[in-house]
Structure 1
């Protein structure tokens, strides 16, 4: 453990070591794992490092803790019992947590180049500068320094400007969106979303009793202005959600002319406009037109997360809004998110010293290279089975089966061979995309990708519907 590379933090090595111990566990009864102190002595790292690695595994459902007893591995058979098998998304989540799986379903761009090394180094430096107080000053909407940094980053003109009071930071993206749904009174209201849409957002709307109307993207990534106008004229649309630039999982960028046409149309109606900026920093071409560059801020809100480009060390979600400030502040106060002020300060410093911009240049290049390699493999091995959307950014590829297939059965066949894909139906609440799938081109481990793609091709042929 003493010779770890600079970018390979101790907790990551501990995490991998514990994962190996869990995978070696046999039988259906949970195997007891080493105590914090014994493992710290064994690996020559701090107890807090061991605790952090265990907490990550606990969040993933790989271990569980027993008071005054310690940590235990959760056997794979127990993990499989956590779901009924009827919910496809639940099955995907459970399958990705099984040991030895090649996860081709994930959307984790930062996996290629996490920013955890500079982030944690900055945090350690700040811990020396800022002694911990018994009762720190409460900032329910997030650390002021980070809110100020985000406001400056999103400001592009004296008209399209943001201030720290317009920025709200929560523990994760889901928590921030839950507050927004409450503040905008979206329960039983109508929301129009670009489609395909991230399943986390769709399920959150569904759980909150929001009526979702999906507006499918056209083949070039554009939205149909006539269809949107028809919806705005005939439906009581409370909110329209659009991607800032890059649409994921489709991976496309709408033409500038289409983006301008949609912006002009939205300005004529009273609906709120919510810009999804989660992948806004991950387009291969950095200088792209955003909806917030075209829309007046009177009805505009923006949400995003750091996790897509920094990594799991920065899971926070955030919202920018110049409206409903009193209500937003009240709900953030009531939610009482427990956020590390030092971690937030560290992220803010990485913005101010330019480290995030440097990181994004490298990450975009790596993503583009990995995308090119994956596209080539898919054309070579599955060119007769899949039609691909050439992604303009991000870590995934959207594909359409050239033959009519039962993709649920394709998914099940692949899981049996320890490969996980994301069937397209996950990205719609209205039964769209049953012939589509999302594939990741960023994944960890030493898996044989060529063999996995061969298994995918076999499954697509075997589950073809005549």
Structure 2
């Protein structure tokens, strides 16, 4: 019996029990290990069973607890379609729309569902302030001197230590610090390509990355992406002759929140290495998993130095500090040269304070709480969307991260919905922002990084009512 047949057969059997009421809302399912033992299957096959059931909105994962049958309201919300972008590379971006939405950032009078970052209420601000003071006292010359070009040694050491969690096995000398992850990605692109080259990316994709790639003179080839398992492997294989660089967010990408299975990551790394196509991996959301274990990265399977691993603490700890890093593999010298040209040094005090926060264990304690909060927020959002949004609304099933992708009827224009919502002091991110093509006009991204409250629930109700009104016209 093939592995594909096995996982489909097991998933279908469990799905049938849920739909017929044998398994009821809230019931706990067997663990991955129990499923392996009972059916004689591998861990990866068992995980695919649960991914398939999540894709059908039948089960949910809870941190430290396992998998449970979804509440009935979840079952009303189908999964968005797999994206179907054009196979022609593009370099035209929706400048006006992106600028309008991001102009809302920092406006305290707005409910910012549009900005994918945790709110200050979810961050350990008092502890971070103390680390700044401590770093000023501890550093030579109070942190006024330039850092070494490669970055703060303590921070690089802590990044290397933490890489063991996802199978990275990095050494401190493998890491270069940067001014946030977007700066890391920018350095990678400049080191690897030239204007006119084609970069393959998921579709939909983070607007800031799209803008960066286009601003450097590259073309973007958007590839079909599944809302649960991420980039479509077959599409990537077909695109290989057209591309020069691959830029992916395998773990909980925004806006879909998809997480690529480990076997897909391994296959992609081997495939791109065989064709000498470098892979830039953006892993800013990897620590925000909702399950019991942090997912591996593509870098976990890199044996040739072909994966340039980028990350930061902007989505997990403190957006404004702009602390990021890159493990560029065999391209390290190129990136060091570019960093010298473009920034010379990173901020000494900031890097030292983040390094201390990681070293003392405060970061891991913070992450545990943040993950629980985001998981709870996700469930609150789903209940609110099921109750208040138009019938037929589809939503993604993020397994981590900060975003939910909402898909309305084809008659919806979320740019117009944005204009109506902003009058109610609500900012959303219309789907057209997340592509260079004419698609996703009926979609939007909602950030789940806001502290849940009666006010947030009311704002979602207002948003749902506006959507119903638009579709009724």
Could you tell me the TM-score, scaled by structure 2's length? 0.73
Larger deviation, residues 281-290 vs 196-205: 281-290
Aligned to 2:364: 357
CA displacement 1:309-333 (0-9 Å, x = unmatched): 1123532221111223332222211
Cα contact 2:224–2:235 (8 A) shared by 1 = no
Query: Any unmatched runs of 5+ in structure 2?
Result: 1-93
Between 1:414-423 and 1:130-139, the stretch displaced more is: 130-139
For the residue of structure 1 that corresponds to 2:274, the secondary structure is: coil
Q: 1:130 to 1:290 in 2, by over 3 A?
A: closer
- Shift, 1:447, TM fit: 7.5
Name the CA distance, whole Å, in 2 between partners of 1:415 and 1:165. 47
CA deviation string 1:181-208 (max 9, x = no partner): 2211242111101121111101111111
* Cα separation, partners in 2 of 1:360 and 1:99, compared to 1, 3 Å: closer
Matched residues in 1 for 2:227 and 2:154: separation? 42
Kept after mapping to 1: 8 A contact 2:114/2:445: yes
Q: Which residue of structure 1 lines up, in the alignment, with residue 118 of structure 2?
A: 109
Which residue of structure 1 lines up, in the alignment, with residue 278 of structure 2?
272
| Residue number among 391, 395, 402 corresponding to 1:388 in the alignment | 395
Decide whether the 8 Å contact of 1:274 with 1:300 is kept in 2: yes
TM-superposition CA deviations, 1:249-301 (whole Å, max 9, x none): 10122334434443443343210011110101111123323222223242111
| Segment drifting more, 92-101 vs 201-210 | 92-101
User: Contact 2:227 / 2:256 at 8 angstroms: preserved in 1?
Assistant: no
Equivalent residue number for residue 315 of structure 1: 322
Task: Report 1:121-200 matches (<5 A).
Answer: 121-132=130-141, 136=145, 138-155=147-164, 161-200=169-208
The structural deviation recorded for 1:210 is 0.8
**Alpha-carbon distance between aligned partners in 1 of 2:343 and 2:260, rounded to the nearest angstrom:** 38
Please state if 1:92 is matched with 2:110: no
Match of 1:324 in 2: 331
Contact 1:404 1:465 in 2 (8 A): no
Asked if structure 1 preserves the Cα contact closer than 8 Å seen for 2:251 and 2:283, the reply is yes
Kept in 1, the 8 Å contact 2:290–2:375? The answer is yes
Q: Residues 118 and 229 (structure 1 numbering): CA distance in 2 closer, same or farther, change over 3 Å?
A: same
- Unaligned 5+ segments in structure 1 are 1-84
| Deviations, residues 28-48 of structure 1 (Å, cap 9, x unaligned) | xxxxxxxxxxxxxxxxxxxxx
Q: CA contact under 8 A between 1:385 and 1:460: conserved in structure 2?
A: no
TM-fit CA distance, 1:410 = 1.1
**Which runs of structure 2 are paired with 1:361-372 in the superposition (5 Å)?**
361-372=368-379
CA distance in 2, matches of 1:388, 1:231: 28
Deviations 1:331-375 (A, max 9, x none): 211223553323212211222222211111111011111111111
Distance in 2 between the 1:155 and 1:444 partners?
Answer: 31
Q: CA deviation at 1:164?
A: 2.6
Shift of 1:149: 1.7
- Aligned-residue CA RMSD in angstroms? 2.7
Q: 2:380 — aligned with what?
A: 373
CA distance in 2, matches of 1:458, 1:140: 53
* Counterpart residue number, 1:77: none
Asked if 1:258 is matched to 2:264, the reply is yes
Displacement after TM superposition at 1:403 (Å): 4.6
Q: How far, CA to CA, are the matches of 1:441 and 1:300 in structure 2? A: 30
Asked whether the 8 Å contact 2:184–2:325 carries over to 1, the reply is yes
CA distance in 2, matches of 1:170, 1:298: 19
Residue 298 to residue 441, structure 1, CA distance change in 2 (3 Å): closer
What is the number of residues matched between the two proteins? 379
Post-superposition offset of 1:400:
0.5
Q: Which has the higher contact order (CA 8 A, sep 6+)?
A: 2
Separation (CA, whole Å) in 2 of partners of 1:256 and 1:323: 23
Residues 141-166 of structure 1, C-alpha deviation per residue, up to 9 Å, x if partnerless? Answer: 32122122212322579x95433332
Q: 1:355 to 1:186 in 2, by over 3 A?
A: farther
Query: In 2, distance between residues paired with 1:86 and 1:169?
Result: 29
- Paired position in structure 2 for 1:452: 459
Deviation at 1:406, TM superposition (A): 1.7
Distance of 1:321 and 1:377 partners within structure 2: 42
2:213 paired with 1:205: yes
| Residues in 2 aligned to 1:384 and 1:425: alpha-carbon distance in whole angstroms | 22
Task: Return the offset for 1:119.
Answer: 2.5
On the 8 A contact 1:116/1:313 being kept in 2, the answer is no
Pairing partner for 1:247 from 235, 253, 261: 253
Alpha-carbon distance in 2 for matches of 1:242, 1:205: 13
